[in-house]
Each structure stands twice: as C-alpha cells, then as structure tokens.
Amino acid sequence: SYVLTQPPSVSVAPGKTARITCGGNNIGSKSVHWYQQKPGQAPVLVIYYDSDRPSGIPERFSGSNSGNTATLTISRVEAGDEADYYCQVWDSSSDFWVFGGGTKLTVL
Amino acid sequence: QLQLQESGPGLVKPSETLSLTCTVSGGSISSSSYYWGWIRQPPGKGLEWIGSIYYSGSTYYNPSLKSRVTISVDTSKNQFSLKLSSVTAADTAVYYCARRGLGPPDAFDIWGQGTMVTVSS
C-alpha cells in the first residue's frame, strides 16, 4: 500500500517560514490535501489539490507538490499555527485514503 | 451551516461490536455532491481512514479494516453509521465523521467534533 512519510516535528520562530514535507513514491502525480489539528480538536482542511486554500484559510498557508515530495509552507508563522499537520492522498491502486503520520509544528 | 455530530457508547468490551452514528444537520445527506466518511485517531497517534459511503449506499473501506467494518446510511434520519466488529484494545480511538466533496475540494472539509471510544472489559 502507498506510504506517506512526514517528519515527526518541525520547529520555527515566530514570523519565520515553516515548511512541512510529505514524501511518497511519485507523489507529484497525486493530489495532496493538508489538515491542521490543534490539541483536543478535529482536523481542519487547510490545503487541497496540492495548493488550493479553502475559504477562511489565511494566505500564509500554501502548498506545492512535485516528484516525490509535497510541501506545506506556512509564512510569517504565528503562535496560533502551533498544531499537528497531516497530509493525505488517494491511493488509487488500493482504493483508499492514506494519511501521513503527522508533523508537530512547534513555534519557538 | 452544515454540522456533523457523532454519538454512541464510549466504552465497548473486547470482541464486541462498536456502533456509532453521525447525524448531519444544516444540510441533506442525500446530496449527490458528497461522500460521508469515518476516520479514527488512537490516543497520541495519527489519523486513519476507516471508510466512506454515498447517499445511495455505495461504500468503500480501508482494506486493513474491511473484514470488520460496515457503514450504512439512513437518509430519512439524515444519519450514517459505523459498525466495527470483534474489537480489541487497538480499536480504542477518537472516531470522527466527516464530509468529502465529489468535486473541489475533494477532501474532508467538514468534520464532527469526534467521540472517544475505549475498548476495555
């Protein structure tokens, strides 16, 4: 089955840029979605189709996808961005949704 | 505004069947534009998709859980349900229901708050 690999943790200072990666075999050929999950809360969709933002999601959140790596980029990081982030793709070979293991973003 | 709410027992005994219901409010589950899904999250761990259903009853499941999972829909009550049989401690998790669009964003864009289910005797 298809595997998505995320770094367990990423740390960034306020005002800087955070980049969270999601690795997978030829992931660039798939559409990647990203979710933000704060403690005790349900996940929230922040990026879909690699780089589109749902309404209400700040422009600071952006995404890219090429080759074997998709990336969620958060610019001008704020304390409120501290959360777990998950990538997700559709595995068409097995017909199921796959999530990455999640990355904990810490704002220093 | 569409909302989803999970309900069901918070404690299930090993080898028994876990049963949860998701009630959709503020919109119709019979819309042709959406699938409805279940996702779970063991304590301190990541997300795992369980399965999804269309209002017509068409389903698809995570292959690793398929032998134990049944998802059904009741359009008259605007609800869909999850049954997971032969549960073990490994099934202890927060269970979420969520909506997925059949077009953009084609992702789970609305989630319930989640319900904790513990498997223990």
Report pLDDT for A85.
98
Map residue A80 onto helix, strand or coil.
helix
Per the CB < 8 A criterion, the answer to whether A105 and B49 are in contact is no
Residue in chain A closest to B66 (alpha carbons) equals A96
Asked if pLDDT for residue B102 goes beyond 90, the answer is: no
Asked if pLDDT for residue B104 goes beyond 90, the answer is: no
Q: Which H helix or E strand runs over B3?
A: strand B3-7
Q: End-to-end CA distance of chain B, in Å?
A: 39
Of A54, A86, A96, the CB nearest to B47: A86
Q: Do A100 and B46 touch (CB under 8 A)?
A: yes
Report pLDDT for B84.
98
Residues of B in contact with A42 (CB under 8 A): 96, 111-114
Residues of B in contact with A31 (CB under 8 A): 106
Structure confidence by residue, pLDDT tens digits, B35-60: 999 999 999 999 999 999 999 999 99
Q: What percent of chain B stands above pLDDT 70?
A: 100
Average pLDDT across chain B, whole number: 96
Report pLDDT for B11.
98
Closest CA to A91 of B49, B56, B33: B49
Q: Do B49 and A97 touch (CB under 8 A)?
A: yes
* Rounded mean pLDDT, B1-25: 97
Of B47, B104, B113, the CB nearest to A48: B104
* Rounded mean pLDDT, B73-90: 97
Task: Label residue B33 exposed, middle or buried (CB < 10 Å: 0-12, 13-18, 19+).
Answer: exposed
Low pLDDT (below 50) residues in chain A = none
Map residue A1 onto helix, strand or coil.
coil
Instruction: Give the pLDDT band (50/70/90) at residue B90.
Output: very high
Token pair for B99? 């909506």
Asked if pLDDT for residue B105 goes beyond 90, the answer is: no
Report pLDDT for B34.
95
Tell me the C-alpha distance between A12 and A6, whole Å: 16
Give Cα separations from B15 to A89, B85, B86, B87, B115 (angstroms).
Answer: 32, 7, 4, 5, 20
The minimum CA-CA distance between A61 and chain B, rounded to whole Å, is 16
For residue B49, the number of C-alpha atoms closer than 13 Å in the C-beta half-sphere is 27
Q: What is the DSSP letter of B107?
A: S
* Rounded mean pLDDT, B85-98: 98
